[in-house]
Amino acid sequence: MNRRKFIQLCSQACIGAALSPGLANAAEPDDKRRLQFMFAQIKYRGGDWNPHPLSVTPLMEELMARTSVEAASARREVTLADNDLFNYPFLYLAGRYEFEPFTADEIETLRRFLTYGGFLLIDDALGQQGYGFDKSVRREMQRIFPGNEFKRLPPGHAALRSYYLLRRIGGVRIVNPNLEGINVGTATPVIYCQNDLGGAWERDQVGKWINTCTPGGEPQRKDAFHLGINVILYAMTENYKEDLIHVPFIRKRLTR
């Protein structure tokens, strides 16, 4: 046994010793745990801000089961006028229909939020390009970042590699096989999915999926969860996966 092998065995033994408290910790209720992540959903005026009320908990459970992030299992509902909005650097904006324009204060708040490190995931539950929710989203984003339009995220974008190496964009339906985003500097603080991610995440009280994913079925739902996790980790680590130390590993795996 060489030194390296010995140290690895010692390390594994140590990991085993550390598992028990970790498992116990995960079973604790939110108020007993130190939460690192809170899924905050924006409530807005008009339209339907809450198309999938039961979508967040399954995603949070998945997040905690797959990653080291300690997340609150329930979502936090916020308005853009809330004083504690900046306590939640990750915001989720979902809907089906057109909604009322944000006020000037709300626009300024969201601009500061997104410019100085906050993140916004937009999820279109209707899936009609140029209509309904999509129309309102594009209008409001133009007000927040005039002249800075949505652009398709390239396949190598850090959000698509922050945890899973994503090749497909999931959701209830595949309206757009790509994600769109708004870039500010080297970051993409706004990511927009038109495939109804929330619908794919949503599960009822007895654990049954509420919406069927078409045409890909369960693998497509899995892709939606993977995307949800990737986007959250991207928000918390930004372009960490573009650091040089990761590049050769990722390239190697993608070429297999």
Partner 1 sequence: MSDLHLIGALPLWGVAVIALAVLALLVQHFIRLRQRLGLGQTAILTALRACVYGALIFFLLGPALIDKRVTKLRRPLTLLIDTSQSMSFPANAKSISGDKGAKSRLDLVKEKLEAGSQPLIQRLSRNYDLRVIRFGTGLEPIAPGSLDRLRAADPGTRLMELVQRAARDGAARSGIVLFSDGIANGEIKSLNGTALAAPVFAVGVGDTEGFTDLRIARLGAPEFAFRGREFKIELTVQAYGLKGKSVPLLFNRGKNLISTRSIAIDADPFEQKITLSFTPKDLGTHVFSVSLPAQPGEQIAQNNQKEFKVDVRRDKIRVLTLSGSPAWNYRFLRMAMKQDPLIELVSFVFLRTPTDTVDVPENQLSLIPFPIDDIFLEELKNFDLVLFDDFSYRAYFNPVYLERVRDFVRDGGGLAMFGGARAFDSGGYGDSALREVLPVELDGKGSYQARGPLQAALTAAGRKHPITRLLPDPKSNEETWAKLPPLTGMNQVHAVRGETLLTANDGAPLLAIGRYGKGRTLALMSDDAWRWNFIAVGNRETPQNHLKLIRQAVRWLAQEPAFEQVQLYPIPTAQPAEKVAIKLKVLNDDFTPARQASIQLRVISPEGEPTLISTSPDGEEGEYSGDFTPTREGTYQVEAEASAGGKALGRNKSSFSVAFSYGETDDGLPRPDLLKQIAEASKGEYLSIDDWNDKTFDKIAARLETIAPSEIVEQRQTRLWSNLWPFGVILILLSAEWWMRRKWGLI
Which residues would be at the binding site for partner 1 (CB under 8 A)? 4, 7, 10-11, 14-15, 17-19, 22-23, 26, 34, 36-37, 65-70, 83, 85-87, 89, 109, 112-113, 116-118, 161-165, 222, 226, 232-233, 235-238, 240-241, 243, 245-246, 249-250, 253, 256
Nearer to partner 1, 126 or 231 (CB): 231
Centroid of chain to Cα 119: 9
Give 68 or 205: the residue with its C-beta nearer to partner 1: 68
Minimum CB–partner distance for residue 161 and partner 1 (Å): 5
Least distance between partner 1 and beta carbon 175 (Å) = 24
Taking the complex as a whole, the smallest distance from the CB of residue 243 to partner 1 amounts, in Å, to 7
Q: How far is CA 98 from CA 118, 124, 137, 143, 159, in A?
A: 24, 11, 8, 15, 27
Name the residue nearer to partner 1 (CB basis): 4 or 208: 4
Rounded to whole angstroms, the Cα distance separating 232 from 252 reads: 24
Provide the sign of the torsion angle of the four alpha carbons 172, 52, 157, 71, taken in this order.
negative
Minimum Å gap between C-beta 114 and partner 1 is 10
User: In this structure, are residues 160 and 230 in contact, taking their beta carbons and an 8 Å threshold?
Assistant: yes
State the virtual CA torsion across 5, 9, 11, 16 in degrees, nearest 10. 160
